[in-house]
Chains A and B, each alone.
Chain A
């Protein structure tokens, strides 16, 4: 018997044909062997401007154009490589020091190998996205070389070679090829292609193979400004080198991924997003789908290295470890206690599966009973599914800096205190402590291992001196992830070439006029806040012969200028919304569009998208139609001007009477809405007045509400609802809508209880109507602000409204709880909100004005857009509020103000007050009241704090107090903030 094996060489394409084999595990649990065939080519260019051979053979686009070569023909040299050099980083270098590559002063002409790029994507998606961003930038000259597809640089995996070794070899091979390849050019100074690596094995092999290579640290040391740059190399890799001694583990180990997944599937473990309490950094909560109320996570051991926003898996602790939610304010800055690292987690492992299951039942039972004060189920974190680490803004804790380091150049570990109180202190190593003190700096977290108490990170860059306007504003923008860089050229290229001279074409035969209605004859005006430049909307009303009214809402036709899927559209979809800070506006669209071409300025013709109703005198809709139009606004009013004009009986022109009609109708509309159960919610809103020259804040005013505010609001709501119905009819799957979920009943439990105990008021929350009515009833004759306070607190119990794609929810879920409308969308502010722009496109398609672009039609894409703009919208709100808070603080600088305040929340060692005049909340700790700290009795049932000893008094919830507000700089933390002191209670 003989057996033969087919010889390998029978395949005629063997040399340029290879395959990759791997195992893919799908979500549904399938495990497949995947074979990908790789066809190798020889025309992938090296993209060096020195190389003419590649230029000749490089693939051309359909138009016959070769994409321009990226790498410079005269790359910068260093001491080690005077003839110039190209860099080839390996994956670890990018993982550890991405911030370095983003520097504007060094790291040009970088070749990113496909091997590295793919490895990076598997290891860290955010870093991958940053790298992709870099490769797109013109000035950095990053080139992605597809070495895995080029015949000469493809490397087959050898027998018994690990994937990592194979990839390292591929990198070395590609570097070698680059050097050989460029060596054949006739250039006088041939640049060296240098591999950057931190892997000792890889470097040693490179040395053997005579491949130019350098350790990242060595390379950076040879650059200008090395000290600053060295700080940006991640901490972790250094420690590995230096710290060989057996580490002492402070935290319990995480479960393996498979163990967590099994547990979550079987209901033994729970997955959710980890949130840290804003008042107590050692208390976190996690909302899991299984239970109605969030689970508590208490203490460092149980929190187990999770950071606010991480997606974690938790295990419910046995009942004897359940605790009441803390009534204490615990701030990390204040705590210096050294916890015992030893913990007896083993006890938990003894618990059998049955007991654990019983525990789950118990949780449900207990949660039903829980009101404040009863022990709540607690949990411990057993693993992290996804880290939500980003870059954090903060400042160096001066107390962690030794005296010598302030002058010297020695590398030292210091703590960074993040601006966000929910984020733990971050340990960073730096050589430039002296310079960093008193600065706002940006850092990232690299790792948090079991043996370090605090996460370890590294310095990214300095934003500037603490409390300078530029630094604080940038800090704010970074902290809320607002895209504030100027628009790139590709975006600006999408603007009309005429620039500010663009005009509505005079001839109605122009393609721009196609299907557009000429509404220039209507008496249209706009009403906006003072100084508004981006005028989204304008209105008109006129009586009809049949006694009804024609009312029109005209919205800037942004979709005419921003075509789907071009660079400007992409940028806008990423920005999602315009962000308004006190002294700054970060636009979603370039200025030219936002404040000129799209803005419905008075006295000029503009393209608009109009919603025209016929309304009966009782404000019922008789019919509605939508059309693209050309309008000419007669006047741009501010709310105050409009109000004055309406009130001025001597004004009897058509425009004014139109406005009066609008006002009359808007009141009826509002009444209807209120009858349907719309909520009027409240959040403290203030306006910071600036000195016009220096734009320094001089005063804070609460915003005034006029009838005209409500006039505009009502018609915008009406337009949004009408449009929502129309686009939902046309596109039941893909219409972009906005919903506001009914809040879970449990959210109101505490507030209802507080009102009952303190004021004997009943809060009903079974429907929005009931809630609206009972909120109206929550009034205190002597204190008009009490009602507002309750509304503010009720608002915080609500869900936040969100954009969604119609196909993802069933119709009853579309409901907007706050507005008591069945269906809602955003249509009226396309200049500053991306959702409105999408709605415009969908409406245009719904009225057959234009075909629907695939990007607006694809549900998956729209869902991604919704998700992004929801986040952006929220961030924009937070950033705006934080900006106000900062300026309120600044306006108080050097002053002491005494104001009325209301107690919003009570802890056993302090309480939170809201100052309506400034719209700020402040924490008053008992220890600040008097020296020594007054003794207190905390009555959780009655929300009362009785103080005796050094300070006599009673503080209770909803109480009106008098506080003194001072601007104080905390020496320990370097933070400036409004500091409140109790003048008198009651």
Chain B
């Protein structure tokens, strides 16, 4: 994280001011947003005519990302033994479960049900492999093997692959599949941590991605309709092509931070500098037909938690001050001097108006509140997906 957002030159006093205003109830954000409000953004799709799907998203702060999706037909090679393959899938699922475990509510049950279904699906032929998606991230000014860039790419692909839905859609027949190349480019300097921007842009690009219509049947060498207008969206949608909304959609990853008891969404660079805890939360939409609970409440989204990752905010990277008494480097320096006690207090205790980096972990209840805020009905994820629905797909 340290590398992917530029260092801020804020004085301890400024940081302390930020921290305290964000800790107020309701929090007072530097740009006047409410805690759950996103920065306004401009989005469009279909900007790269040569791709299968593309999108561009511009945040109001000037950060801008472009995502292009290209698809290629690839021969499915059957490597290894089926069991081995199965075990890796289980490992992946376990991982997903351990993330979800933070919130032992209806969601995990839902996920269990989904797991059972995935189990059943694994018996049918129609399933995908994770390497059918290749994702690359480019951040200007950073090497592509920079740890921050790699971490971003991993988080984004983890979210997309978490539910196994996307790769399933890439299955053509038992011998062939589509290979999807997702190229994510941030075209502005990284003014704030770009994860949500890149995620939203990839989301839109995937929504707009279309694949040529298959004409051949069964396990034949695939042949496709040469009419692009007949091509089909990966994420199928109901209604006519232009006005409809998708019946399923790719997952999105949101950035959420906590300051004190406050949960703040879409943090800006300055806000991140004083965060106590930062999470990247990936949320997917469950398949509507398979979920009875949602079918009962039409119109509502069935959201599923796919993964949660903690991200070290810059505040965590500042080493805290250590009193000389306990500091081995300052060994033997006047530990008993009277005026040193004040100094010690300054180093260990809180002093009004002076920024002090947070120490220690976050409470589990805080984490679960953050996740809940995203997933609740009418919550942030709902809100974001609603907003993205408004983007016309080219």
Give the nearest-CB partner of A36 in chain B. Answer: B49
Q: Cα distance A287–B19 when bound, in Å?
A: 84
- Whether A3 is near chain B, meaning CB under 8 Å from some CB there, is yes
- Whether A62 is near chain B, meaning CB under 8 Å from some CB there, is no
Return the contact of A258 from the options B216, B226, B229 (Cβ within 8 A). B216
Task: Assess the B72–A31 pair: CB atoms within 8 A.
Answer: yes
Return the contact of A23 from the options B75, B219, B231, B240 (Cβ within 8 A). B231
Task: Assess the B216–A256 pair: CB atoms within 8 A.
Answer: yes
- Among B39-47, B106-114, B340-348, the stretch that binds chain A is B39-47
Task: Assess the A23–B225 pair: CB atoms within 8 A.
Answer: yes
Within 8 A of A (CB), among B222-269: 222-229, 231, 240-242
Task: Assess the B228–A23 pair: CB atoms within 8 A.
Answer: yes
- Whether A968 is near chain B, meaning CB under 8 Å from some CB there, is no
Task: Assess the A258–B223 pair: CB atoms within 8 A.
Answer: yes
Known contacts A29-B73, A33-B51, A159-B241; decide if A2 and B40 are in contact (CB<8 Å): yes
Task: Assess the A31–B228 pair: CB atoms within 8 A.
Answer: no
Within 8 A of B (CB), among A258-277: 258-259, 261-262, 265
Return the contact of B223 from the options A3, A25, A157 (Cβ within 8 A). A25
Within 8 A of B (CB), among A22-36: 22-25, 29-31, 33, 35
Min distance, Cβ B283 to any Cβ of chain A, angstroms: 15
Known contacts A4-B44, A30-B73, A33-B51; decide if A262 and B226 are in contact (CB<8 Å): no
Task: Assess the A3–B226 pair: CB atoms within 8 A.
Answer: no
Task: Assess the A33–B383 pair: CB atoms within 8 A.
Answer: no
Query: What does the 1/0 interface line of A145-161 toward B look like (CB < 8 Å)?
Result: 00000000000010110
Interface centre among B219, B220, B387 (most CB of A within 10 A): B220
- Whether A6 is near chain B, meaning CB under 8 Å from some CB there, is yes
Return the contact of A3 from the options B49, B227, B240, B390 (Cβ within 8 A). B390
Task: Assess the A262–B38 pair: CB atoms within 8 A.
Answer: no
- Whether B215 is near chain A, meaning CB under 8 Å from some CB there, is yes
Q: Cα distance A256–B214 when bound, in Å?
A: 13
Task: Assess the A1–B226 pair: CB atoms within 8 A.
Answer: no
Within 8 A of A (CB), among B335-389: 383-384, 386-388
Q: Cα distance A261–B37 when bound, in Å?
A: 56
Give the nearest-CB partner of B56 in chain A. Answer: A6
Q: Which residues of A contact B40 (CB under 8 A)?
A: 1-2
Q: Cα distance A159–B221 when bound, in Å?
A: 30
Min distance, Cβ B60 to any Cβ of chain A, angstroms: 9
Task: Assess the A2–B387 pair: CB atoms within 8 A.
Answer: yes
Query: What does the 1/0 interface line of A647-666 toward B look like (CB < 8 Å)?
Result: 00000000000000000000
Q: Cα distance A255–B222 when bound, in Å?
A: 14
- Whether A21 is near chain B, meaning CB under 8 Å from some CB there, is yes
- Whether B282 is near chain A, meaning CB under 8 Å from some CB there, is no
Known contacts A33-B52, A33-B212; decide if A159 and B242 are in contact (CB<8 Å): yes
Min distance, Cβ B267 to any Cβ of chain A, angstroms: 15
- Whether B391 is near chain A, meaning CB under 8 Å from some CB there, is yes
- Whether B312 is near chain A, meaning CB under 8 Å from some CB there, is no
Task: Assess the A35–B49 pair: CB atoms within 8 A.
Answer: yes
Query: What does the 1/0 interface line of A901-916 toward B look like (CB < 8 Å)?
Result: 0000000000000000
Task: Assess the A2–B41 pair: CB atoms within 8 A.
Answer: yes
Task: Assess the A31–B212 pair: CB atoms within 8 A.
Answer: yes
Task: Assess the B38–A1 pair: CB atoms within 8 A.
Answer: yes
Task: Assess the A6–B44 pair: CB atoms within 8 A.
Answer: yes
Known contacts A3-B41, A157-B229, A159-B241; decide if A23 and B387 are in contact (CB<8 Å): no
Min distance, Cβ B38 to any Cβ of chain A, angstroms: 5
- Whether B392 is near chain A, meaning CB under 8 Å from some CB there, is yes
Min distance, Cβ A744 to any Cβ of chain B, angstroms: 31
Task: Assess the B221–A261 pair: CB atoms within 8 A.
Answer: yes
Task: Assess the A258–B44 pair: CB atoms within 8 A.
Answer: no
Task: Assess the A35–B223 pair: CB atoms within 8 A.
Answer: no
Min distance, Cβ B70 to any Cβ of chain A, angstroms: 8
Q: Which residues of A contact B334 (CB under 8 A)?
A: none
Query: What does the 1/0 interface line of A1-13 toward B look like (CB < 8 Å)?
Result: 1111110000000
Known contacts A29-B221, A259-B216; decide if A21 and B49 are in contact (CB<8 Å): yes
- Whether A19 is near chain B, meaning CB under 8 Å from some CB there, is yes
Min distance, Cβ A181 to any Cβ of chain B, angstroms: 30
Give the nearest-CB partner of B43 in chain A. Answer: A3
Q: Which residues of B contact A262 (CB under 8 A)?
A: 216, 219-221
Q: Cα distance A502–B145 when bound, in Å?
A: 77
Q: Cα distance A33–B212 when bound, in Å?
A: 8
Q: Cα distance A640–B212 when bound, in Å?
A: 73
Q: Which residues of A contact B50 (CB under 8 A)?
A: 33, 35
What are 16 sample pairs from A and B whose C-beta atoms fall under 8 A apart?
A1-B40, A1-B383, A1-B387, A3-B388, A5-B392, A19-B49, A23-B224, A23-B231, A29-B222, A31-B71, A31-B212, A31-B224, A33-B50, A35-B49, A257-B223, A258-B223
Contacts A23-B212, A29-B222, A258-B217 supplied; 11 other A-B pairs, CB < 8 Å: A1-B384, A3-B41, A4-B43, A22-B228, A23-B225, A25-B224, A25-B226, A31-B224, A256-B217, A258-B220, A261-B221
Instruction: Spell out B's residues near A (CB within 8 Å).
Output: 37-38, 40-44, 49-52, 71-73, 75, 212, 215-217, 219-229, 231, 240-242, 383-384, 386-388, 390-392
Nearest 10 interchain pairs by C-beta: A258-B216, A1-B387, A258-B223, A262-B220, A21-B228, A35-B49, A23-B212, A262-B221, A4-B42, A258-B220
